[in-house]
């Protein structure tokens, strides 16, 4: 008998031989992952909101430079976390919307660095989703995106040189996409960067 997480109360009334525990455990794991992804995304939302609103800034000069540095690290981690969330079915829609808002609040180099780190960490099985998320978030006609793409190209090349080939599938797909989108002239302009 196939039971889902929603039917868990019926589990107590069934005999062991009647229950497909493999299917039940897969459903429980899926629901747990979905719940954990949603909870993690809520934390990322809260941090991104604080960054966007500028909370936590200090008035002291030494504290301010530390705060700016910390904010940059936090921005990168939030951006990277939102990119990962954009690759998960249950959190994709909300993550993509938040990324579209958040990208206008962070510097292009921070977004490019976070994106390249994400692309060099994403599992092979999620490479196409990562490319899809990146394409959805960054409009190629936007001037800010053009600057971002140049920074992303540099950052991806650096990231690819420090990660093993097996970790570069998504990064390579985005590099190819950038080259196809912008053409050979753009590629040649960035050849020595």
What are the tens digits of pLDDT across the range 27-67?
888 888 888 888 888 888 787 777 767 644 545 554 444 45
pLDDT score for 5: 61
Pair of tokens at residue 100: 């579209």
- Give me the half-sphere count of Cα atoms (radius 13 Å) on the Cβ side of residue 47: 20
pLDDT score for 64: 45
Give whichever of 1-10, 50-59, 110-119, 153-162 has the largest mean pLDDT. 110-119
Pair of tokens at residue 153: 């190209």
pTM of full prediction above 0.85: no
- Tell me how far the alpha carbon of residue 46 is from its chain's centroid: 16
pLDDT at 116 over 60: yes
Angle at 142 between CA 140 and CA 148, to 5 degrees: 75
- Tell me how far the alpha carbon of residue 100 is from its chain's centroid: 12
> pLDDT tens digits, residue range 71-91?
788 888 888 888 888 888 888
pLDDT score for 66: 44
Asked if 85 and 92 touch (Cβ cutoff 8 Å), the reply is yes
Asked if 117 and 90 touch (Cβ cutoff 8 Å), the reply is no
> pLDDT tens digits, residue range 145-189?
677 888 888 888 888 788 777 677 888 888 888 888 888 888 888
Of the chain, the percentage scoring pLDDT greater than 70 comes to 80
pLDDT classification of 4: cutoffs 50, 70, 90 = low
Taking the alpha carbons at both ends of the chain, their separation in whole angstroms is 61
């Amino acid at each position: 008998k196939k039971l889902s997480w929603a039917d868990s109360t019926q589990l107590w009334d069934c005999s062991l031989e009647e229950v497909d525990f493999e299917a039940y455990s897969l459903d429980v794991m899926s629901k747990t992952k979905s719940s954990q992804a949603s909870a993690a995304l809520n934390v990322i939302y809260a941090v991104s909101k604080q960054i966007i609103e500028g909370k936590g800034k200090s008035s002291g000069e030494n504290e301010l430079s530390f705060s700016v540095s910390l904010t940059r690290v936090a921005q990168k981690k939030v951006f990277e976390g939102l990119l990962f969330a954009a690759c998960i079915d249950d959190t994709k829609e909300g993550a993509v919307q938040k990324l579209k808002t958040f990208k206008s609040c962070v510097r292009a180099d921070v977004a490019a660095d976070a994106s390249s780190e994400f692309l060099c960490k994403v599992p092979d099985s999620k490479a196409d989703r990562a490319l899809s998320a990146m394409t959805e978030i960054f409009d190629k006609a936007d001037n800010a995106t053009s600057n971002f793409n140049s920074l992303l190209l540099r950052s991806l090349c650096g990231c690819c040189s420090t990660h093993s080939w097996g970790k570069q599938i998504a990064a390579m797909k985005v590099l190819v996409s950038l080259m196809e989108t912008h053409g050979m002239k753009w590629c040649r302009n960035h050849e020595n960067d």
